[in-house]
């Protein structure tokens, strides 16, 4: 059991009584501090929720995978620009050769973006022209992080024979089969061609501007035939059997693909190899600047709260000058008076901090719920908020407490 000296207990009791006596003023001061902490904890909790959402979305795009693709695409986030040069496209023949010759414990898939503005039709029902059509092979579901809700995957023979088969997303299923029919083996029309549905994907949600649930996968060879365009550039996804083999697999794949591309030893690599989480890391790096800005805004708000608390404590010293004089006259030490006022400031600060932390967590998690992430309890910011409130309380209460402790008892007793 922790022993607390009677003097500390008495000073704490006096501080609580003083707060109760000036209840309205104390509540307003607590609210000032609470708003500062709420701004800090709320913004930082919301940013944590956004970070979790970004990580989850990119994880759904395929965990432990890397992609080989043309470097013709430009990606710019903030001041960072990636893939700035326009290199040669990756042909289907090159992608096929890589898949055949990559002798490594890994799954390799070949895919291509066909269109993002297709319309899918089934009898009298049809979708808006926003259906994403992807050319895929038998391994794409694994490397892309997709799961089947019902039905089956493509077979290697079906890919080779360019069969008119389709695997659709859950949103397409809902839009086309409103009478809750079983979509398996039903015939739908995409881009003027008829496809038999062999599988339905589990719900995956939206990700960076498009919904995976509106996706429709057809054999990659079928895309070459019916969605043909000049210099079609194919994408190769590789998923090592074990995550720890990732870096070795990347090295092996770069060496093999350089041979396939007929590059000399001195030639620059004219393709991109990127891990599935690279873009997520780029986004998170830029969000870190927002975190710093939010922290500065929260600290400035707390600085204003500290000034408000100090002002309230100085007013309290002025109002209780005769009380301080009376206590000193009957033997109270300066250190005891200082302790009483410090306790009062700390209690007000911690009450404001607790209220601010609760409000901040609620506001931050409203953002989390709105973007579909799980509830977050920001333990670091909770602990940080408590410590920050203690620091603010001590900094704000020290000057008024010292001023109160140095009052001359004779002058204080004569104060009107």
Measured CA to CA, the distance from residue 301 to residue 337 in angstroms comes to 30
* 49-101 residue pLDDT tens: 877 776 666 655 555 788 998 875 544 445 554 444 445 789 999 999 999 99
Q: What's the confidence (pLDDT) of residue 337? A: 77
Which phi and psi (to 5°) does residue 272 adopt? Answer: -110, 135
**What does the block give as tokens for 259?**
């041979």
What value does the mean pLDDT take over residues 345-358?
A: 86
> For the CA atoms of the chain, what is the radius of gyration?
33
- What was the pLDDT predicted at 111? 95
Whether pLDDT at 256 is above 90: yes
Check whether 209 has a pLDDT greater than 90: no
More confident residue, 132 or 56: 132
Band of pLDDT at residue 34, cut at 50, 70 and 90: confident
Beta strands at 165-168 and 215-219: parallel, antiparallel or unpaired: antiparallel
**Least confident stretch, 74-78, 238-242, 258-262, 322-326:** 74-78
Instruction: Give the lowest-confidence range in 277-281, 325-329, 343-347, 363-367.
Output: 277-281
Nearest partner of 233 among 181, 194, 267, 272, judged by Cα: 272
**pLDDT band at residue 168 under the 50/70/90 scheme:** very high
- Separation of alpha carbons 378 and 352, rounded Å: 18
The rounded percent of the chain whose pLDDT value lies above 70 is 84
pLDDT in tens, 170-196: 999 999 998 888 999 999 999 889 999
pLDDT > 90 fraction of the chain, expressed in percent and rounded = 29
* Alpha helices in 61-180, H assignment, sequence order: 92-101, 140-143, 156-160, 170-176
d(CA 31, CA 416): 31
User: Which of these ranges, 207-216, 221-230, 239-248, 278-287, has the smallest mean pLDDT?
Assistant: 278-287
Q: Whole-model pTM above 0.75?
A: no
- Report the mean per-residue pLDDT for the chain: 81
CA proximity to 356, closest of 366, 367, 344, 348: 348
**221 φ/ψ angles, rounded to the nearest 5 degrees:** -70, -30
E strand or H helix that includes residue 12 = helix 6-21
What DSSP line would sit under 264-308, residue for residue?
A: -TTSPP-EEEEETTHHHHHHHHHHHHHHHHHHHHHHHHHHHHHHH
- Between 293 and 228, name the one with better pLDDT: 228
CA distance 97 to 82: 27
Q: Which two tokens stand for residue 241?
A: 């059997």
CB atoms under 10 Å from CB of 121, counted, come to: 15
């Amino acid at each position: 059991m922790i022993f607390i000296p009677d003097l500390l207990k008495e000073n704490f009791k006096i501080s609580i009584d003083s707060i109760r006596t000036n209840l309205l003023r104390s509540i307003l001061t607590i609210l000032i501090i609470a708003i500062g902490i709420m701004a800090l904890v709320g913004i930082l909790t919301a940013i944590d929720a956004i970070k979790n959402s970004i990580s989850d979305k990119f994880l759904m795009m395929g965990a432990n995978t890397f992609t080989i693709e043309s470097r013709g695409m430009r990606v710019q986030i903030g001041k960072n620009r990636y893939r700035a040069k326009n290199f040669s496209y990756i042909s289907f023949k090159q992608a096929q050769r890589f898949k055949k010759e990559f002798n490594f414990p890994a799954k390799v898939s070949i895919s291509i973006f066909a269109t993002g503005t297709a319309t899918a039709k089934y009898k009298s029902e049809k979708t808006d022209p926003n259906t994403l059509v992807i050319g895929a092979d038998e391994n794409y579901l694994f490397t892309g992080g997709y799961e089947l809700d019902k039905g089956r995957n493509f077979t290697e023979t079906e890919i080779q024979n360019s069969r008119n088969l389709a695997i659709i997303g859950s949103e397409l299923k809902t839009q086309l089969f409103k009478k809750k029919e079983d979509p398996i083996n039903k015939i739908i029309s995409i881009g003027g061609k008829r496809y038999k549905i062999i599988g339905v994907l589990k719900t995956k949600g939206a990700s960076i501007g498009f919904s995976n649930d509106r996706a429709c996968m057809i054999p990659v060879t079928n895309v070459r035939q019916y969605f043909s365009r000049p210099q079609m550039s194919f994408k190769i996804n590789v998923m090592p059997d074990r995550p720890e083999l990732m870096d070795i697999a990347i090295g092996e794949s770069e060496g093999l693909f350089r041979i396939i591309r007929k590059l000399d030893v001195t030639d620059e690599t004219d393709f991109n190899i990127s891990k599935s989480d690279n873009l997520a890391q780029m986004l998170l790096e830029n969000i870190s600047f927002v975190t710093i800005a939010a922290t500065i805004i929260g600290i400035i708000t707390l600085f204003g709260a500290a000034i408000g608390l100090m002002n309230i404590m100085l007013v309290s010293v002025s109002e209780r000058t005769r009380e301080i004089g009376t206590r000193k006259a009957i033997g109270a030490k300066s250190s005891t008076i200082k302790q009483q006022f410090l306790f009062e400031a700390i209690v007000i600060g911690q009450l404001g901090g607790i209220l601010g932390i609760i409000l901040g967590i609620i506001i931050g998690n409203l953002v989390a719920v709105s973007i579909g992430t799980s509830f977050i309890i920001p333990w670091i910011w909770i602990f940080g908020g408590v410590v920050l409130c203690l620091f603010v309380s001590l900094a704000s209460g020290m000057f008024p407490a010292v001023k109160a402790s140095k009052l001359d008892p004779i002058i204080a007793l004569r104060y009107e």
